[in-house]
A and B are shown apart, each in its own frame.
Chain A
Amino acid sequence: MTKKYEELIGELKDIVRKMEDSNTSLDEMITLYEQGMVMVRQCEDRLAEAEVKITELGRES
């Protein structure tokens, strides 16, 4: 199950917040940066999906 865009953005925000915390160690920071960049790419990919799917419900259901 792929993550929702909203979840990705939420996690990305958490990563940025952790990176801005002065207590984060350098090693941790590098790991966070790598994770963050993966998420940014996933979000960008998600935004690139242009098609909009339309489903029409039957009137009697």
Chain B
Amino acid sequence: MKIIDQVIMDQATLDNWNKKEGPVTLRVSEVSRMITRLLEDKALQNIWITGEITNFKRHSSGHLYFSLSEQVAGKESVVSCTIWKSAARYLDFTPDDGMEVRAYGSISHYEPGGRYSFQITQMRPSGAGERALLIEGWRREMAAKGWFSPERKRTPPKYPIRIGVVTSSTGAVIHDIRNVISKRFHAEIILSPTTVQGISAHEEIARAIIRVQDKVDVLIVGRGGGSYEDLFAFNHPCVVEAIVTCPVPVIAAIGHEVDITLADLAADVSASTPSHAAEQCVPDRESELDALMHMKKRMFLQLMNRLESAEEDLNGIRDRLSSPRLLREVRIRQEALADLTDRMVRGAQGVKDRAHSRLAEYRGRLEGRNPLVFLKRELPERKAFLAELKGRLSCAALVRLQAERAELTSLSTILKARGPEAIFQAGYCMVSSAGNVIRSCADLTPGETVTIRLIDGAADAAITQVYHDKKV
């Protein structure tokens, strides 16, 4: 009742006031005004609020709309906020989802919309948002494990037969995927349903992945667009690990194009939307039909070409088998044979001639060296030389002989004149003893036997007495 006192009521309501027993019936505008009054309580005016920015939107008019949120003991609290363009101009940073901020303003009720919001006039960042920090920490750990490395990205099969889809069984995602795939290619979809947001969503998503992974050729993990908080489960390590360890390639399609979750980073392929994921999953029927048409054409052309070339070959052979052509061929070969024979004969003659001339040359050289011929040619000359030599020799001997003879005569004359013969002739004799010529009486001893040499002989004599001409 205290509240009602403060409210300006319509006259009609006032008129009925207290006239009836039982619960009060109020008009919407009255309630709305009451709420406005309540929210304009001093406790909610000109206050500071700390929290994390989520669902941030910049309207084309320049106004900023977002939520300030906080999680306490697993329970989430959210306050909608507005910064009008006039105040937004003075912000010294660019607000974004995940930022932890301190904002100054007042709670205000928007009656035409039945909504309240915190109208902010000042706002400052107070460090990175708790969630952003958490995600950043996870991201670093996963990157260190190599979960995002391009080398581990697998290429999905071109023609999958069974496609697993992990998403909500009621959302638009499965509907979109089914539509796209049925238009493109024949395949079986196996839906592994899961909730995609909420406190334990991450565990459920991971379980849904593991449940379906052995039954399919490729897996789509999908969720439609949502706020930053809505997509939070797809950053959780247990979801990312399920994707990384999945035995078949995973295509992630989480949120809109601008939303990048850790699941997107770890998946083998990251698609911007679930429809896009479905397009990447199966080939397009039309392009496959085109390819088939193309192959059909290639086969046909190839066969035609081969047939044509076979026909050409046949014509060629027929042409070559015609009789004038054969005759011409024979003639050409005959001529070639004749030419060859000529060349052989000419060649043989040449060889013979060369052998003859070489033989003659050898014979000549052999003759030149025959000793008989050599002697025959030299003999007369040598004979003449010998005769001349003989003549010259006998002539010289004769001259020499005469000279020798003349010398001998003169020498014998001299010898006769000076030799002992003349002395012996004159009566001298020569006494010798034991072969020695005795030239002095002193060499003689009485009794000694000596030999006396005379002109015509010798005689032995004994010395009886020696007489010296003078006493010595």
Contact = CB atoms under 8 A, between A and B. Distances in A.
B265 to A, nearest CB: 27
Contact of B161 (A4, A15, A40, A44): A4
26 contacts: A5-B159, A5-B186, A12-B295, A16-B299, A19-B299, A19-B303, A26-B306, A26-B307, A30-B303, A36-B295, A36-B296, A37-B296, A40-B292, A44-B289, A46-B186, A47-B186, A47-B288, A49-B186, A51-B182, A52-B182, A52-B189, A53-B188, A54-B190, A56-B193, A57-B193, A59-B193
B181 A40 contact: no
A54 B303 contact: no
A50 B184 CA distance: 9
B191 A54 contact: yes
B71 interface: no
B96 to A, nearest CB: 36
A57 B161 CA distance: 17
B276 interface: no
B133 interface: no
Interface string A1-15: 000111001001101
Interface centre among B159, B194, B285, B299 (most CB of A within 10 A): B299
Interface in B289-306: 289, 292, 295-296, 298-300, 302-303, 306
B188 A19 contact: no
B182 A56 contact: no
B157 interface: yes
Interface size grouping (class) on chain B: 35 or more
Nearest to B165: A54
B400 interface: no
Contacts of B212: 57
Nearest to A61: B211
Contact of B299 (A4, A6, A33, A57): A33
A59 B161 CA distance: 22
A40 B299 CA distance: 11
A16 B298 contact: yes
A39 to B, nearest CB: 9
Contacts of B192: 57
Given A50-B186, A55-B188, A29 B303 contact: yes
A57 B303 contact: no
Interface centre among A15, A30, A55 (most CB of B within 10 A): A55
Interface string B156-185: 011101000000010000100010011001
Given A33-B300, A52-B178, A52-B187, 16 more contacts: A9-B159, A16-B295, A33-B303, A36-B295, A40-B292, A43-B288, A43-B292, A46-B186, A52-B181, A53-B188, A54-B174, A54-B178, A57-B190, A57-B192, A57-B193, A59-B194
A50 B157 CA distance: 20
A6 B157 CA distance: 9
Contacts of A51: 182, 186
B310 interface: yes
Contacts of B299: 15-16, 19, 32-33, 36-37
A51 B289 CA distance: 17
Contacts of B185: 47
Contact of A40 (B158, B191, B296): B296
Given A54-B189, A57-B190, A57-B193, A29 B306 contact: yes
B355 to A, nearest CB: 56
A47 B285 contact: yes
Given A12-B295, A52-B178, A52-B186, A19 B310 contact: no
Given A54-B189, A56-B169, A6 B292 contact: no
A15 B192 CA distance: 40
Contacts of A49: 186
Contacts of A59: 193-194
A59 to B, nearest CB: 6
A44 B292 contact: yes
